[in-house]
Amino acid sequence: MDPFAVLLLCGSLVLFSVSGFGGAVDVISASQTLRDGETLNSSGGVFQLGFFSPGRSTGRYLGIWYSNIPVQTIVWVANRSKPVADSSGSLIVNRTGGLVLTSRGNVVVWSASPTGFVQNPVLQLLDNGNLVLRSAADASGGSSSGNFFWQSFDYPTDTFLPEMKLGWDLRTGIKRSFSSWSSPDDPSPGDFTWSLQNIEFPETMARKGGTKYFRSGPWNGLRFSGAPQQSLNPIFWYNFTSNEDEVYYMYHVNNKSMLVRSTLNHSNYMWERSTWSPDSQEWRVFLQLPKDYCDNYGLCGPYGKCSMTNLPYCQCLKGFSPTSLDKWNSNDWSQGCVRNKPLGCPKSKDGFLKYSNIKLPDTTNCSVDATLSLKDCEKKCLINCSCTAYTNSDIRGKGSGCAMWFGELLDLRQYPDAGQDIYIRMPASEIAGKHGPVAWMIAVVVLVVAVSCGLLLVICLFCRRKKNTTGNKEVSLIGQEHEMPEDDLELPLFDLATISNATNNFSDKNKLGEGGFGPVFKGVLDDGHEIAVKKLSASSTQGMHEFKNEVILIAKLQHRNLVKLLGCCIQDEEKLLIYEYMHNKSLDAFIFDPSRSKLLDWKRRFHIISGVARGLLYLHQDSRLRIIHRDLKASNVLLDEEMNPKISDFGLARIFGGDQTEANTTRVVGTYGYMAPEYAIDGLFSVKSDVFSFGILILETVSGKRNRAIYHSNNSLVGHAWELYKTGKSIELIDPSLSDTCTISEVLRCIHVGLLCLQEHPDDRPAMSLVVVMLSSNGSLPYPNQPGFLAERKIRDSMSSSSKNESISVNDISFTLLQPR
């Protein structure tokens, strides 16, 4: 080789090792220097290490940020309390693996030492945002795991990234906790801290200074007991580790391409989780903690529980009263509650009262024995007079482990459908079934009276049934033709004369409307109670099977977004269902009426969409039964006085048992404009069929237009929405009457979610649990695939495959479809 070329090559190598490097490499070798103005990129280009000045500050800090987004977002700072005054800062890895950040005059600003001897040390920036010190041999693969002699993830600042650990390394004593910046111009530790309590029953705790103001509740095997949103969010998965070496919590993102961060906001003391939106080029917050009033630590004081569904928010536990009634009545609940009667231990036996759906109390004075069953836990707590409560430490399966509290119970919260069970110690006289002699005698008397009344009621019913059967040949609920055991009903049976009188003999003036199964009338009972009566017509396709289905099914359902069934009547060939009366009738009466649509502003429409979503989630996942509605549409969404939505008409609903997720039928019934393609064509229905119908409902509510024609994609509302979405013109779908009230980003998000629900393949459609999350958050959404259009030729093929007719409706217009194959 030419000697001059060799000399030039050697000079270049020396210059590279001393003066820095370009942005393409992800490692700094021993004796290399990273100077102000140079950057180190992770191998995939996700993160960048370099010097920066925050906000209006002129100080220079060494930090890590996202490299491919226009908004510089810092996730870690090395010298957060000691900035470099000018651009003289430089970072070097010395030959023993030490990291040294110096300023002008070689003044050490920040340093870090390895945990052991490192052979050929290199500093590497990984694609998960972790800056690690490792040997050169380990760094060649670029793995995010391995033998690290130092890592930035062990010394977090204000940002919690996926794959980071929040908690303790018990071998080294390292505590991984977070602290907010002091201000946007100053990354030094602020007042707000977030940490994992190193106690027997660990939980995360937020503090302002030394004062607690939010806690997550302890980890119960599935989630933190005070974080129900963790079970509703399939975007993430979580793991919690507690052993002799480590105690930590970690979260992961299923979609690795999604940029997610959790940060401590210095200004409002919020723990915020957000995702980067490429469309809007901004971070969108979709979770904030504390999220509501009841998340404030210790709001209701000792033995007080907080509930967002009640006013006032704080209530004393059963058997307790406010410590200071005057302060309690003035909404100062901080002193909490005291027992009405002292505990009997050790002189007499105490017992335990079960509370369900509770955020477990502060676990500072709590002990755990993972080997005990719940029964053994009760025994152990009972013999210790200082034990005030117990529960399972792990709720997976049938529950296991034992957690016991000692002393006052603080920061309890009541959820409608989250949390877990806890058993609180009470004197025997405060517990049903464990009363003293007087209470026992009262209970016996009450029991005798109840049994006597029950016998009289049975005799009366027998005599009445016998009279009706011989007199007018009434079709009995327990008759042989229509067997329908009264035990299954769990609701009152109304007399036909009572209902006839309430509806003015089913007068046309009382008629509210007419569905596929018959007319609906308004009625007023003798006590002034308003009702809605669904009268099945003789020609109705809803026979006794559908009637029984609706009665038995809806009687077992209780949710604020489901219509309440008050009773039924079967007499003189009449089949009647009596519902609570909805003053504002149904959703379709508003959104499809040009004059009335103006009464539903965007806030109300979004409230309705969200309420229907929660109602469907209850049917699909949270009720005692897994229920597929099969006929969700705008006319089956009723509105009460405050415009709260309630799903109605369960005549076509189906119950799924166990792990069943789908079924097939040759009897396709429902409303054609809302049917999923796989159901209308092949008779296959599942929870995803309801999701499809919900997607139609969203588009109709946003646009104020019916989804009438669905044979051709270009003629339907769905097809129109899809074409607008593809061309970035979704805003044109919005009902003109909403122009002055809508939040554009929120409406566009609803359209996007609607199209996700309408994807052709059922597996591509989100579950209702994810739909609820997507509607309530600001996170980025996946791109939807083409909606499921019902091709005309497939319909004709399906219709020609059978000779049997089935009556269904097209947006409440009668239509006949032949059974599919």
Q: Where does residue 506 fall: left (phi above 0), alpha (psi -120 to 50 degrees), or beta otherwise?
A: left
**Helical (H) or strand (E) element with 638:** strand 637-639
| Structure tokens belonging to residue 291 | 């999220």
Which ranges of 127-207 would DSSP assign to H, the alpha helix? Answer: 136-139
Nearest to 629 by CA among 643, 605, 642, 646: 646
Nearest to 44 by CA among 26, 71, 22, 62: 26
d(CA 17, CA 242): 43
d(CA 583, CA 667): 34
d(CA 426, CA 353): 7
| Structure tokens belonging to residue 27 | 């490692």
Distances (CA, A) of 726 to 195, 321, 697, 742, 787: 45, 60, 20, 22, 12
Nearest to 673 by CA among 722, 615, 632, 724: 632
Which residue, chain included where needed, has tokens 């139609």? 696
Q: Is 435 exposed, middle or buried (0-12, 13-18, 19+ CB in 10 A)?
A: middle
Which amino acid is residue 522, in one-letter code?
K
Structural contact between residues 127 and 46, judged by C-beta atoms closer than 8 angstroms: yes
d(CA 278, CA 246): 37
Q: Where does residue 793 fall: left (phi above 0), alpha (psi -120 to 50 degrees), or beta otherwise?
A: alpha
Q: Which of 631, 649, 735, 812 is catalytic?
A: 631
Nearest to 742 by CA among 779, 692, 777, 704: 704
> The dihedral of CA 93, 98, 101, 107: what is its sign?
negative
Annotated active-site residue 527? The verdict is no
Helices (H) and strands (E) in the chain, counts: 15, 47
Distances (CA, A) of 638 to 20, 114, 415, 628, 737: 68, 65, 26, 18, 21
Which residue, chain included where needed, has tokens 């109709």? 700
Structural contact between residues 771 and 235, judged by C-beta atoms closer than 8 angstroms: no
203: CB partners within 8 A, 6+ apart: 196, 197, 215, 216, 217, 218, 219, 224, 226, 363
Structural contact between residues 588 and 657, judged by C-beta atoms closer than 8 angstroms: no
Half-sphere exposure (CA, 13 Å, Cβ side) for 667? 6
- Classify residue 302 by its DSSP letter: T
Which amino acid is residue 568, in one-letter code?
C
- Classify residue 758 by its DSSP letter: T
Longest dimension (CA), the chain: 122
Half-sphere exposure (CA, 13 Å, Cβ side) for 657? 0
Q: Which residues are catalytic?
A: 631
